[in-house]
């Protein structure tokens, strides 16, 4: 409805059972099924999408154009275009968005 342009492809995955400690910079799309401790930031030069699945756990700040959350985030979420909260989403932190879908 709000975002008519085509979404970028998801090219990267942090799988269930994996944990990454440190900051991550990505371009295009990223799906997280595992655990992250650190900030996640999309490349500002290209459209981006971040998917946080129901098995994911993130401790840190998130910055991307389109963010879909169905897992646990402990930290601020900055969606430059749209933030989608799915049924199992849990965010403990400030949220910033242009459009919100629940």
Q: Return d(Cα 10, Cα 8) in angstroms, integer.
A: 7
- Using only C-alpha atoms, the chain has a radius of gyration, in whole angstroms, of 12
Q: What is the pLDDT along the chain (102 residues), one digit of tens a residue?
A: 455 567 888 989 999 999 999 999 999 999 999 999 999 999 988 899 999 999 999 999 999 999 999 999 999 999 999 999 999 999 999 999 999 999
> 55 vs 17, 44, 64, 102, CA distance in Å?
9, 27, 20, 19
pLDDT of residue 2: 53
Reference 95, options 65, 61, 71; nearest CA is 61
Q: Which residues, in sequence order, are CB contacts of 88 under 8 Å at separation 6+? A: 54, 70, 71
Q: Please answer whether residues 36 and 24 qualify as being in contact, where contact means their C-beta atoms are separated by less than 8 angstroms.
A: yes
């Amino acid at each position: 409805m709000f975002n008519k342009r085509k979404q970028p492809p998801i090219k990267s995955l942090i799988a269930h059972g994996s944990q990454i400690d440190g900051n991550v910079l990505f371009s295009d799309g990223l799906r997280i099924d595992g655990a992250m401790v650190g900030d996640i930031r999309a490349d500002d030069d290209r459209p981006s999408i971040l998917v946080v699945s129901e098995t994911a756990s993130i401790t840190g700040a998130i910055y991307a154009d389109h963010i879909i959350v169905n897992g646990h985030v402990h930290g601020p979420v900055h969606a430059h275009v749209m933030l989608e909260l799915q049924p199992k989403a849990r965010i403990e932190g400030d949220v910033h968005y242009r459009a919100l879908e629940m």
